[in-house]
Amino acid sequence: MTDSEARRAGTAGPEASEASEASEVSEVATPDTVAPGPVASGATPALTPQVLEIASEYAFPGSALDLGALLWDGRCLPDAQIRIPLGMLNRHGLVAGATGTGKTKTLQLVAEQLSAQGVPVFLADVKGDVSGISAPGQVNDKVRARASEVRQEWTPAGFPCEFYALGGMGHGIPVRATVTSFGPVLLSKVLRLNQTQEQSLGLIFHYADQKGLELVDLKDLRAVVTFLTSDEGRSELKGIGGLSTATAGVILRSLTAFEAQGMSPFFGEPEFDTNELLKVAADGRGTVSVLELPAVQDKPQLFSTFLMWLLADLFHDLPEVGDLDKPKLVFFFDEAHLLFDDASRAFLDSITQTVRLIRSKGVGIFFVTQTPKDVPADVLAQLGNRVQHALRAFTPDDQKALKATVKTFPDSPYDLEEVLTALGTGEAVVTVLSEKGAPTPVAATRLRAPESLMGPVDPAVLDRAVEQSPLHARYALAVDRESAYEKLRAADADADADADAAREAGAKPGKGAGGGRARKAEEEDPSVVQQVMGSGVFKSLARSLGTQIGREITRSVFGTARRRR
């Protein structure tokens, strides 16, 4: 009998429980393995009908992740195991709770089991304490006690990891995006632009896309904005609304302030290929991609928006696959409230659409935050799995948030207001989707202990892992190729040369009166089209861009560029 079969048998009754215990106790534990010990006679209370009903709803026959054991009337009941079906992880979820209640360890526990079942995982490591998932855990009294309480066979294990850092700031392989790929909607949020300014930025991107002006980094964007507000460039947008000098000034000032905060390294090439997040290690375990964010903790809106870019890129690149036996990727979005702070209605609608539709592409998203109120209702409605850690109720606002959280759960035999304030560290209220897609009953749960290191690995070890990664050679060195900035500078130089040539030609007398009158008429009344087509800048761009003119980049709901791979 396997460990998972014994756990399922344990929900069937006392006889099955005794058989399970005998099988588990007979196993020989290694020095670093904590085997579930025997339960003394009379120590495990009989399961009441209510408990049996709850436990039966979590006894899934297929592949599942083990979360922990049921808590009932202040007792931990190891015969009632709480699990989540592997195939339901793409129905998204929420991990919430006050600071210090164990949310990070819950992420680690779930990520470990996903990796072990061959599912790649993405973790945003905001505090810098998730890197330990790459190293085996250390047994101690707390781990022994928890393993015994929840009947867990705990074995130390590290998992295959890749470490990334935004723009290379911090320990990790640099993750960059081009400005063109990032798009106007997400960039507007990072720059804190209002709706009018966001629409103007979208117009700038539209122009750059049409003209083949690649916006690779921030200096490219600044060059295009400056050109479109110049005497020669202003007429280029006149037919589609134009760009006011005041709005352009706001955008340029926002870009300058953004760069002054050291944000330039995030935009550039080589651009990160999000398909790297879908890799499986040689031993069949899913790779855990850890985005190290401690170096940018003071730029929360940037990293939350950058995570949205990763999701948006995956969304429009992955094919439709429907419901799978296991997800292609599970994405944990830490500090999720930062994504929704000060977000426009259009931005929230785009997030909702992405969350709703990316499920059919095999990707599950778990938002991690303090209370469900941090997540908009339309997004919250898409989250089928819930792990709610303890909440505090010290102030009237806390009490109001507690009551609102309780209302988001299905009807339950628990007094959830009392339970949620009494949960200890590593305990949570759980409800998930069954294999039939129906929500399971609410279950207060004592969670299992992660088997990997519950803390950060040494920075030197982390750096060594990064340098030894095959991805390091591909992404480590930034590349600055010819793009909009260089093309516009070359166009200016050509325009100056054309102007000098025109002045020299104008000094020579024309041949014949007819030619002079025609030349005079053109000088007196040139059309707008003639002005634009005849400008030195436009002619230079036409020469340098060739077949790229008129080829506009197709963009997604977030304005991110669709790339062909």
For every residue of 158-206, DSSP letters joined together read ---EEEEEETT-SSSEEE-B-HHHH-HHHHHHHHT--HHHHHHHHHHHH
Among 115, 127, 90, 102, which Cα is nearest to 335's? 127
Model confidence at 123, pLDDT cuts 50, 70, 90, reads very high
Report pLDDT for 232.
79
Angle (CA) 76 82 86, round 5°: 160
Model confidence at 553, pLDDT cuts 50, 70, 90, reads low
Higher pLDDT, 520 or 237: 237
Q: Please check whether residue 235 is in contact with residue 242, taking contact to mean a CB–CB distance below 8 angstroms.
A: no
Model confidence at 348, pLDDT cuts 50, 70, 90, reads confident
Q: What is the mean pLDDT of residues 375-379?
A: 90
Q: At what angle do helices 345-358 and 300-317 cross, to 10 degrees?
A: 50
| The pLDDT of residue 42 is above 80 | no
The phi and psi torsions of 417 (rounded to 5 degrees) equal -60, -40
Range with lowest mean pLDDT among 31-40, 123-132, 177-186, 258-267: 31-40
Q: What is the mean pLDDT of residues 476-493?
A: 89
Give 191's strand partners: none
Model confidence at 532, pLDDT cuts 50, 70, 90, reads very low
Q: Please check whether residue 274 is in contact with residue 560, taking contact to mean a CB–CB distance below 8 angstroms.
A: no
What 8-state DSSP symbol labels residue 134? G
Model confidence at 120, pLDDT cuts 50, 70, 90, reads very high
Q: What is the mean pLDDT of residues 6-19?
A: 40
Report pLDDT for 483.
92
Query: CA 538, CA 111: separation in Å to the nearest integer?
Result: 53
Report pLDDT for 149.
96
Among 454, 456, 453, 443, which Cα is nearest to 150's? 443
Query: CA 254, CA 45: separation in Å to the nearest integer?
Result: 64
Q: Please check whether residue 441 is in contact with residue 110, taking contact to mean a CB–CB distance below 8 angstroms.
A: no
Dihedral sign of CA atoms 88, 89, 90, 91 in order: positive
Give the highest mean pLDDT range of 16-30, 230-244, 433-447: 433-447
| The pLDDT of residue 432 is above 90 | yes
Helix (H) or strand (E) holding 488: helix 484-506
Report pLDDT for 550.
38
| The pLDDT of residue 351 is above 90 | no
Among 88, 80, 87, which Cα is nearest to 50's? 80
Percentage of the chain modeled with pLDDT above 70: 80
Four-point Cα dihedral 430, 433, 434, 437, nearest 10: 160
Model confidence at 22, pLDDT cuts 50, 70, 90, reads very low
Residue type, 316: H
| The pLDDT of residue 288 is above 60 | yes
Q: Please check whether residue 230 is in contact with residue 222, taking contact to mean a CB–CB distance below 8 angstroms.
A: no
| The pLDDT of residue 114 is above 90 | yes
Q: What is the mean pLDDT of residues 525-535?
A: 44
Query: CA 125, CA 107: separation in Å to the nearest integer?
Result: 10
Calculate the CA 345 to chain-centre distance.
20
Report pLDDT for 220.
95
Mean of pLDDT over the chain? 83
Higher pLDDT, 279 or 495: 279
End-to-end CA distance of the chain: 46
Residue type, 177: A
Model confidence at 515, pLDDT cuts 50, 70, 90, reads very low
Give 77's strand partners: 70
Among 47, 28, 36, 34, which Cα is nearest to 6's? 36
232 φ/ψ sector (left φ>0, alpha ψ -120 to 50, else beta): alpha
Higher pLDDT, 27 or 84: 84
- What is the pTM assigned to this prediction? 0.81
| The pLDDT of residue 6 is above 50 | no
Report pLDDT for 522.
43
Range with lowest mean pLDDT among 204-218, 305-319, 424-438: 305-319
Higher pLDDT, 392 or 28: 392
Q: What is the mean pLDDT of residues 142-170?
A: 94
Q: What is the mean pLDDT of residues 344-357?
A: 84
Helix (H) or strand (E) holding 290: strand 288-292
Report pLDDT for 297.
77
Model confidence at 243, pLDDT cuts 50, 70, 90, reads confident
383 φ/ψ sector (left φ>0, alpha ψ -120 to 50, else beta): beta
Q: Please check whether residue 174 is in contact with residue 549, taking contact to mean a CB–CB distance below 8 angstroms.
A: no
Higher pLDDT, 506 or 560: 560
Report pLDDT for 345.
78
118 φ/ψ sector (left φ>0, alpha ψ -120 to 50, else beta): left
Report pLDDT for 428.
97
Q: At what angle do helices 300-317 and 184-191 cross, to 10 degrees?
A: 170
Report pLDDT for 31.
56
Give 366's strand partners: 93, 332
Report pLDDT for 322.
83
Query: CA 521, CA 516: separation in Å to the nearest integer?
Result: 9
| The pLDDT of residue 273 is above 90 | yes
Range with lowest mean pLDDT among 372-376, 415-419, 460-464: 372-376
